[in-house]
Amino acid sequence: MNVLIVEDEKSLAREIAEFLKSEKFLCDIANTGNEASEKIAINLYDFVLLDLGLPDYNGLDLLREAKKINSEASFIIITARGAVEDKVKGLDLGADDYLAKPFALIELLSRINAVARRKFNITSPDIVLGDFTMQVQSRRLICKGKEVELTRKEYDLLSYLVLNSGKVLNRQQLYEHIWGNILDDQYDSNFIDVHIKNLRKKLNLHAPTPWLETVRGVGYRVNTTQEE
């Protein structure tokens, strides 16, 4: 998943980014509100970790602005402010959670995972896809008792489609959320098609995958209601 860390304490921002990258997240850092505003305007993020105490921007104003631009992102406020009214205002504006400094990185990860479970309505650690079972916590895909060997990016691509089950995701969305931000002169829409083709090929060696659908001219969708 793609995360934007909005934090003016550069050492803390780097520490959070390094930790989340070790947990398979993609991370951008913005040390000012203006920098964060620019990144949010052009990039899609799954999570925004937002410090309210920015030197050049009111954090609540940035939250309000970001919610309008990237309505599907989840927001966790991270701040040294202890005032109850700041927490309440942030939650009222649409923040999903609140974490006061100082905090343990493992707690931050736990909060992110909890928000993700609510966001994607995950009620079980295992997701069934026909003959396949995706074990979310261990990042494994099992078919008929055998593990399907996928690369990290292949698993991430399948996982993101599964988490957004029922939604049609276009190629640009998939690219940004799995590989990071797009540079116009580097983006090739066929890149995703090739990876989906390779993923299907690996999966079909184990069992049919009618639930992994191509929506012609748009993108791809996982349809968990698809009957084989």
Mean pLDDT of 17-31: 93
pLDDT value for 83: 62
Q: How far apart are CA 120 and CA 162, in angstroms?
A: 9
Mean pLDDT of 160-171: 90
pLDDT value for 182: 57
Residue ranges matching CATH 1.10.10.10 in the chain: 126-222
Q: Which residue has the higher pLDDT, 186 or 194?
A: 194
**CB within 8 A of 191, min separation 6: which ones?**
171, 175
Global pTM? 0.74
Q: What is the CATH number of domain 126-222?
A: 1.10.10.10
Mean pLDDT of 3-29: 94
Q: What is the CATH number of domain 2-119?
A: 3.40.50.2300
pLDDT value for 11: 95
Residue type, 29: I
Residue ranges matching CATH 3.40.50.2300 in the chain: 2-119
